């Protein structure tokens, strides 16, 4: 056995021993933090972060702060979930190591701590850009370590900070919000809140002749318009009509092909509320995940004057 091969085997065995020791540590201590008070990014000016870049070898996400509001660059600057971004920044600012290890750059791949540019053996890189000068702080999230008998549900990760070469941290964080990277999860999911519904209509589409239901007040029962003899609304369906709270999973560009979305020949659902709002839902094809493409138009016919009550004085 030559010297080079022996050294390679020795380094590999040493690294495996370190990883094994960390797993045993997690089992015996329940991830007790033995370096209390020391944080990895304690000097990060959290209030001045203007951009967060999250990258893996297969996906990327760019969160940008514009005019005091967070947006998702990959989704045409659609509003981002600001609370989720604040939680990520705060959690990393408070991040404390359970242990830190001295590991050479050649061994980072074994812990999936290479840059996403490396494609193989890479981790998830998070970069914070601060202020107008775009001063950066970054880290790479690597392999997971599962908790042991004392804390079977706890998980930890290996962390590498490129500015602190030769040192790898073990932290008691799972980073589920960024692994995997799902861009739609970072969008602001606040959506329309139609209020109390007065009328719902689906126009005829394909083999469906269409239908319309109405009610006189928010406490009234729903009635099927133009019902034939003996035809009435299913009670279960009627009960659900009063709880209309739509949401969405992702957004698409308006320039997307209508052939792909099916919105060149959508079926239409119109919702009218008691406070005068009208919502038109144009509903297209299902995608591979059995979700549908939807475009929404909103209008309102608001009262211009308040109706006088009985015996009201001028």
pLDDT in tens, the chain (314 residues): 444 433 333 334 334 444 444 443 444 344 444 445 689 998 889 999 999 999 999 999 999 999 899 999 999 999 999 999 999 999 999 999 999 899 999 999 999 999 999 989 999 999 999 977 777 899 999 999 876 556 555 579 999 999 988 899 999 999 999 999 999 999 999 888 888 999 999 998 888 888 999 999 988 889 899 888 888 888 888 888 877 778 899 998 888 888 889 998 899 999 999 989 999 999 999 888 889 999 999 999 887 877 788 888 87
Per-residue model confidence (pLDDT) at position 19? 47
pLDDT score at 122: 96
Q: CB neighbours (10 Å) of residue 161?
A: 15
Q: Which pLDDT does position 149 carry in this prediction?
A: 59
Give me the pLDDT at residue 30, please. Answer: 40
CA–CA gap between residue 208 and residue 71 (Å, rounded):
40
Q: Which helix (H) or strand (E) holds 273?
A: strand 267-273
- DSSP-derived 3-state class of residue 259: helix
pLDDT computed for residue 15 by the predictor: 42
Cα–Cα nearest to 58, from 113, 126, 124: 124
Q: What is the pLDDT of residue 60?
A: 97
Task: Give the pLDDT of residue 147.
Answer: 64
Q: Which among 160, 156, 155, 56 is positioned nearest to 108, based on CA atoms? A: 160
Instruction: Give exposure, 204-225, as e/b (b: 16+ Cβ within 10 Å).
Output: eeeeeeeeebebeeeeeebeee
Residue 14 confidence (pLDDT): 38
d(CA 268, CA 285): 12
Q: Can you tell me whether residue 92 is helix, strand or coil? A: helix
In the numeric block, which tokens belong to residue 4? 């080079």
- Please, which residues bridge with residue 157 across strands? 144, 171
Give the global pTM: 0.77
CA–CA separation, 280 vs 285, rounded Å? 17
């Amino acid at each position: 056995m030559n010297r080079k091969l022996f050294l390679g085997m020795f380094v590999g065995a040493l690294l495996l021993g370190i990883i094994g020791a960390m797993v045993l540590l997690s089992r015996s201590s329940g991830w007790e933090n033995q370096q209390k008070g020391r944080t990895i990014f304690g000097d990060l000016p959290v209030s001045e972060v203007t951009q967060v870049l999250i990258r893996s070898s297969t996906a990327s996400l760019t969160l940008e702060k514009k005019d005091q509001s967070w947006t998702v660059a990959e989704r045409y600057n659609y509003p981002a979930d600001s609370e989720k971004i604040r939680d990520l920044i705060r959690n990393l600012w408070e991040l404390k190591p359970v242990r830190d290890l001295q590991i050479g750059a050649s061994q980072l791949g074994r812990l999936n701590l290479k840059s996403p540019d490396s494609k193989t053996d890479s981790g998830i890189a998070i970069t914070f850009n601060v202020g107008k000068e775009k001063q950066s702080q970054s880290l790479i999230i690597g392999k997971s370590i599962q908790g042991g008998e004392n804390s079977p549900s706890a998980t930890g990760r290996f962390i590498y900070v490129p500015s602190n070469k030769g040192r790898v941290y073990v932290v008691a964080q799972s980073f589920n919000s960024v692994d995997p990277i799902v861009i739609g999860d970072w969008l602001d999911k606040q959506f329309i809140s139609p209020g109390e519904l007065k009328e719902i209509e689906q126009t005829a589409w394909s083999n469906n002749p269409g239908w319309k239901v109405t009610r006189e007040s928010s406490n009234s029962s729903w009635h099927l318009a133009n019902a034939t003899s003996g035809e009435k609304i299913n009670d279960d369906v009627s009960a659900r009509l009063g709880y209309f709270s739509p949401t969405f999973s992702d957004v698409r560009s308006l320039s997307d092909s209508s052939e792909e979305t099916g919105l060149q020949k959508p079926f239409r659902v119109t919702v009218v509320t008691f406070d005068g709002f009208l919502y038109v839902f144009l509903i297209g094809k299902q995608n591979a995940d059995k979700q549908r493409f939807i475009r929404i138009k909103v209008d309102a016919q608001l009262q211009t004057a308040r109706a006088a009550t009985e015996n009201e004085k001028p």
